[in-house]
Structure 1
Amino acid sequence: MVAPSPLPPAVGGRSLLQRLCSPRARTQLAAILRKNAILTFRNRKEAMREFGMPLLMLIVLVMLSNLPTSTEMPAAVQQPVRSMSPLSLAAAGKQLWVAPGASLPPTDLPSRIVASLTQAVNAGSTNVTYFPCELASQCDNSVMAAYAQQGKSLLAAVIVDSVSPPSYRIRMDTVTYAPGVGAYNTSAAYAADGSVLPPDQTPGVYTNYFMPVQAAVDAAIIQTVGGVAPQSVQLRTQGFPAAAYTVNTIGSTLQIIVPIYMTFIFTLQVRVLLTRILEEKEKKIKITLKMMGLSDEMFWASWSITS
């Protein structure tokens, strides 16, 4: 049987047990326990703050994403019916040209259409003119070149291609400004009377200028070819109804919350990084105090102050 080893010899006249039972040792032991408890609590608090809050926010986001989709389903948007204003070139201060096409045989049909338009539409106005083409095959290029020179004073050019069946083309410059309309706009259409149409791909210059020109030319061709002036017809336009759509309110909410969440997490990580830098500085101060040979009481006092 091996006998237990005796206690180490006394140091400074006292044994190890006597030193552990001294008031100073008890004070140091209590200070160390208090320090360990504080550090443990602080580490747990920082861990909860560093990982708990992002995890909690992530759980909230997951719960929101798994909720039943909250949608709104508006009915189809019906486009309003609009009455087209009659073609009035004199009031608009615009000119309308009528030219023969490349495939049109020698005939006076364009000039008769000009006369019909002048009589039926403009009540004797000279805004409708016949545009002779030197070469019928280059009539399109000649008309567009003259169009570019005229600028805003020319509304459109009508190129007559055939007599039977009647066929013609309307040439309008897309960048030309129409009176009361403004720039050619395909996102929001503005009518000539200043009212706002629903956003679509049909600008106001089309419904208020192109279609009235087309209706006037049709009436002139009917009168010229058939010999009978058509009755006045009220023209109305209406766009196709827009399709019904759904609005996901949960998805819209997540689009707002996620950027805030990411900003919050980044800010929290910066705060944790700064805290660790300060703790490292505090540790260096403690080591410096120890190297200077200060007593334990002074060390813990400085530690409590810097903490």
Structure 2
Amino acid sequence: MSNRPAGHATRSTIRPNSETGQAAGVRTFLRTADGIAVDSVYDPGPVVYETGPAAPAETVFVVAHGFTGDVDRPHVRRVARALAAYGAVVTFSFRGHGASGGRSTVGDREVLDLAAAVDWARGFGHARVVSVGFSMGGSVVLRHAALHPGTVDAVVSVSSPARWYYRGTAPMRRLHWLVTRPSGRLVGRYGFRTRIHHRDWDPVPLSPVEAAARTAPAPLLVVHGDSDGYFPLDHPRMLADAAGEAGELWLEPGMGHAENAAGDELLARIGRWARARAGRGTD
């Protein structure tokens, strides 16, 4: 790829769909600050017609999927469709996932992937950017907001861990095997289309709970199911407590883990919360 700044991509002109009158989406590869190609999709969502051509929705959601997800997974596309009722949506595959380049660092360097997607989303002319992350993506949106202050207007973290190296549940013990063992990484590559880096973190990245204390002034919504099999309820409570007055906690009865457990009604509430808290515009 050519030497372009992070988040820059060659994109086609957004043209109206002849049947719906709405703008068509764009799919491209973004280049991160460390040179990784990230497969990314932009859906303009609802457009605003006033006296002239269609104007972009005020809000754009940037969706950060969970570990082993990617932009083409049905659960990621369902989240995108649900949020598109409330604004434009950018989805992307983290490094090592799907068609994106590189290898997964399970939440560390993925902050650079999100940074490129947020920069791209802002470039379409939307006034407000809201990052929405699930599981691993939930930790990434927290760390991105802390490490790149002022780049997002609100943050939604769903089913995120609060601390690293948690092995207190069977699903997390299986995940650690997948990440740390050569045989596990082979399963990740061929079973889940996820290429996992073999190196340990060095240094250990800022933890999600430390990041939650640094997301302000952007408002933070922490969402967690009380039937989450990966992370018990002390995780979301730690995150919300760390955020202080900037944080809000929703504990969802009967909800499991991440995108697959997030129903359309919950996603609609998230969309409404984000538009209200990020600042209601004309979308």
User: What range is the shorter-chain TM-score in?
Assistant: under 0.3
Q: Which has the higher helix share?
A: 1
Query: With CA pairs under 8 Å and 6+ residues apart, which has the higher RCO, 1 or 2?
Result: 1
Greater Cα radius of gyration, structure 1 or 2: 1
Q: Which has the higher strand share?
A: 2
